[in-house]
Amino acid sequence: MVRYGIVGFGLHGVKRLMPGFAGASNSTVVALSRRNHAQGRQDAEHFKIAHPFATTEELCACPDVDVVFVSSPNALHLSDTLTALKHRKPVLCEKPMAMNAAEAEQIVNAARKAGLLVGIAQCFRFEESIRRIREKVQAGEIGKVISIRIDFTFAGLNSPRSWLTDSKLAGGGPIGDVGVHTIDAMRYILGSEPHSVMAMTSADEDAGTVESSALLSLRFANGVLGSSYVSYRSPYQSPIEIYGAEGIVRANDGLNVDHPITIETIAGSDVRREEVTNYDTYSRQVDAFSAAFENREAFLVPAEEGLQNQRILDACYRSAESGREEKVI
């Protein structure tokens, strides 16, 4: 059983990570760290976690921890990951990987120098819905792909993650928070990279120092056009639509992990439907990382993939600032 320590244990740890570990077959949590140490001790007692710590340094030094799961605010991902690598611990880091591509590149280089595995928790790559949609696209069931749309919205006002509206901690708004999921899913489904992006953003009186909504357009190397609407101001939705020369694949709430997903494949008058569930997405993710750690195998989302996502995010923010289409560099 691979033993994890969760750095930055908070809402995500309670809502998603601990249920995921509860369903995992070869992964367990033995330690956590939280800046509010009193709350961290309560969390540890509630989830029966042996070691509650106040700092990343203490957690990474714990000999009972095999792997560090970095789930702290985005601005801390670089320092928390480097601390874990210093203690010779592999890292599974939450998305987005860092605040920008320069920081992400530091992590990639540090992991290579240390010879340690660093993965990025792009959890939706482990969904059954994304797996099946990718299979259909790659098998040519809808012919040559022309366009792809993946949106991700949720009502973010009064979120317990109060740091989401502080650019010094979050880096950006929904582009970085959930846009990284839609961008990564497009890349994974298509097997192609965007070479340029265009971003339009809006911000309201509650946005703090980040955008509250954004519309992203992407030009992929294989000629596909991608689009993504991301927002903190709309009810939860994560629709997926992929248009090909011979048909369409779509799924309403295709990124959802809480209820069954119906995938529709439409070719002329032929409509095929299949229902899948994503309930074990977070369990699959940690067990996949545990397998990669134990067997010294590749992980589905290595640090290099996180760096590529970060380069695309950087281009989105450059475009929002310049008002022009920007190349991914």
Tell me the average pLDDT of the chain.
97
**120 close to 212: Cβ distance less than 8 angstroms:** no
* pTM, to two decimals: 0.97
Q: Identify any residues that bridge with 249 across adjacent strands, giving them in sequence order.
A: 242, 265
| Low-confidence stretches of the chain (pLDDT beneath 50) | none
How far apart (Å, rounded) are the C-alpha atoms in residues 177 and 173?
A: 6
How far apart (Å, rounded) are the C-alpha atoms in residues 185 and 134?
A: 9
CATH number at residue 212: 3.30.360.10
CB atoms within 10 A of CB 147: 14
Residue 316, in any domain of the structure = no
How far apart (Å, rounded) are the C-alpha atoms in residues 124 and 139?
A: 20
Residue 250: the pLDDT is 98
Question: Domain count of the chain?
Answer: 2
Residues 217 and 101 in one domain: no
How far apart, in Å, are the Cα atoms of 192 and each of 221, 238, 310?
A: 6, 21, 16
What's the burial of 173, exposed, middle or buried (CB within 10 Å: 0-12/13-18/19+)?
buried
How far apart (Å, rounded) are the C-alpha atoms in residues 91 and 81?
A: 7
Residue 317, in any domain of the structure = no
Residue 328, in any domain of the structure = no
pLDDT tens across 187-224, in order? 999 999 999 999 999 999 999 999 999 999 999 999 99
CATH number at residue 12: 3.40.50.720
Residue 91: the pLDDT is 98
Residues 142 and 234 in one domain: yes
Residues 236 and 201 in one domain: yes
Residue 258: the pLDDT is 96
Residue 321, in any domain of the structure = no
Residues 34 and 136 in one domain: no
Residue 89: the pLDDT is 98
Residue 103, in any domain of the structure = yes
Residues 269 and 160 in one domain: yes
Residues 83 and 140 in one domain: no
Residues 66 and 135 in one domain: no
* Residue 318 one-letter amino acid: R
Residues 75 and 117 in one domain: yes
Residues 117 and 138 in one domain: no
How far apart (Å, rounded) are the C-alpha atoms in residues 203 and 210?
A: 7
Residues 86 and 39 in one domain: yes
Residue 24, in any domain of the structure = yes
**117 close to 84: Cβ distance less than 8 angstroms:** no
Instruction: State the residue range of the domain holding 214.
Output: 128-278
